[in-house]
Amino acid sequence: MKELELQKAFMLIEPGPVTMIATSHKGKYNIMTVTWTMVMDFTPRFALLTGPWNYSCEALLKTKECVIGIATADLVETILDVGTTTGRDVDKFGRFGLTPLPASEVRAPLIKECYANIECRVVDYIKKHNIFVLDGVKAWINKSHKDKRILHARGDGTFIADGEIFKRRKRMGDKLPPGV
Amino acid sequence: MKELELQKAFMLIEPGPVTMIATSHKGKYNIMTVTWTMVMDFTPRFALLTGPWNYSCEALLKTKECVIGIATADLVETILDVGTTTGRDVDKFGRFGLTPLPASEVRAPLIKECYANIECRVVDYIKKHNIFVLDGVKAWINKSHKDKRILHARGDGTFIADGEIFKRRKRMGDKLPPGV
């Protein structure tokens, strides 16, 4: 994992990837699969929707930290393993062959098997709507990751990998944020 | 456009598409391109991030209605046309060859050229974070739309269409919401 310029980190969430959210709480690592995320600002700031029905919610509220791991097509079975079990019963890192790596700014671990990771601090929780507001504080990318196709969920058990690329940089003109 | 069961409408936003948001305000239709959206519930409920810097914000606040149009790969030039101009100066429907169709539950128009449209009511606005909370009230899909590959933005002027599909319905078990 090499450091990724923080002003580029929003580009990891903008396309709507399946993510794995890693936390560290009460001496235990945990992971959940989340597809309900949104970019809120280029700074970068992100929204993540989860609530008390989810075991990781307490870790987010108490530690105010997490790592967002970006899932690629090679991880399709892993995101299902992680998403259909609960950290209440299962050590998901151990059970599913995932490797926690030390992060730089937060206690939550990076996920070695992910294409990229974003260390985040919880800066707000909109309780009424179960929205966590996260500020990205450090980002990492593994440019030698073999399969860089980001994975998207359809919600019916179908997942879709990135396909054809359209480069329209010039058309964006001054709408592009600095540093991307 | 045929009606899509409302419980399936979240599936249009879950994969992280580029969207075009149509509004009707002061006797004028307008559209903006938005990639910062998120599913909030299967009901369906959606988050959309925009603020006073955007011309459509006033229409959303005043009319409390909009239509979310889903962009597919064939619309890559259109979402750039719509996203790099402002409704303050331009009649985007007329200028960019888009066709407004009457919606059923809201005054904002459906966009005929989109693969799918979701009629929405604004049910909350989280001013502190510029998040509009939208309830989908009716959904439409054009199943004869030629190019059904949803378009995703990367944030640097690169857009990516849906590629390989992974069907993992059985693996989801009881995690699937009813009716999808």
- The chain A residue lying nearest B173, using CA atoms, is A84
Question: Is there a domain that residue A55 lies in?
Answer: yes
Global ipTM = 0.97
Question: Is there a domain that residue A28 lies in?
Answer: yes
User: Of A163, A175, A177, which is closest to B163 when you measure between CB atoms?
Assistant: A163
Interface test with A, best of B172, B175, B176, B180 (most A CBs within 10 A): B172
Whether chain B has a CB inside 8 Å of the CB on A123: the answer is no
Q: Which residues pair with A68 in a beta bridge?
A: A21, A118
> Do residue B47 and residue A131 have CB atoms under 8 angstroms apart?
yes
Interface of B with A in 3-42 (CB under 8 A): 8, 10-11, 14-17, 35-40
The Cβ of residue B169 has, within 10 Å, a number of other Cβ atoms equal to 11
Question: Is there a domain that residue B92 lies in?
Answer: yes
Q: How many domains in chain A?
A: 1
Question: What is the amino acid identity at position A27?
Answer: G
For β-strands A45-49 and A37-41, DSSP reports them as: antiparallel
Please give the Cα distance from A60 to A58 (Å, whole number).
5
Question: Is there a domain that residue B180 lies in?
Answer: no
Contact (CB, 8 A) for A16 and B160? no
Question: Is there a domain that residue A180 lies in?
Answer: no
Q: What angle do CA A17, A163, A36 make, to 5 degrees?
A: 15
Confidence band for B167, pLDDT divided at 50, 70 and 90: very high
Q: What is the pLDDT, as a whole number, of residue B151?
A: 98
- Range(s) of the domain holding residue A6: 2-175
When pLDDT is averaged across residues B117-129 and rounded to a whole number, the result is 98
Question: Is there a domain that residue B24 lies in?
Answer: yes
Provide the 3-class DSSP secondary structure of residue A62: helix
Q: For A23-72, what is each residue's pLDDT tens digit?
A: 999 999 999 999 999 999 999 999 999 999 999 999 999 999 999 999 99
Question: Is there a domain that residue A83 lies in?
Answer: yes
Q: What is the pLDDT, as a whole number, of residue B80?
A: 98
CATH number at residue A105: 2.30.110.10
Q: For B64-119, what is each residue's pLDDT tens digit?
A: 999 999 999 999 999 999 999 999 999 999 999 999 999 999 999 999 999 999 99
Whether chain A has a CB inside 8 Å of the CB on B165: the answer is yes
Q: How many CA atoms lie within 13 A of B55 on its CB side?
A: 22
CA B159 to chain centre: 16
Q: What is the pLDDT, as a whole number, of residue B13?
A: 98
Q: For B1-20, what is each residue's pLDDT tens digit?
A: 999 999 999 999 999 999 99
Please give the Cα distance from A119 to A103 (Å, whole number).
7
User: Of A14, A40, A149, which is closest to B155 when you measure between CB atoms?
Assistant: A14
Q: What is the pLDDT, as a whole number, of residue A173?
A: 87
Place of tokens 């606040």: B61
Q: For A84-102, what is each residue's pLDDT tens digit?
A: 999 999 999 999 999 999 9
CA distance A2 to chain B (A): 20
When pLDDT is averaged across residues A144-161 and rounded to a whole number, the result is 97
Percent of chain B whose pLDDT exceeds 70: 100
Q: What is the pLDDT, as a whole number, of residue B173?
A: 87
> What tokens were used for B58?
């006033």
Q: What is the mean pLDDT of chain B?
A: 97
Q: Which residues of A touch B169 (CB under 8 A)?
A: 156-158
> Do residue B49 and residue A37 have CB atoms under 8 angstroms apart?
no
CA distance B163 to chain A (A): 4
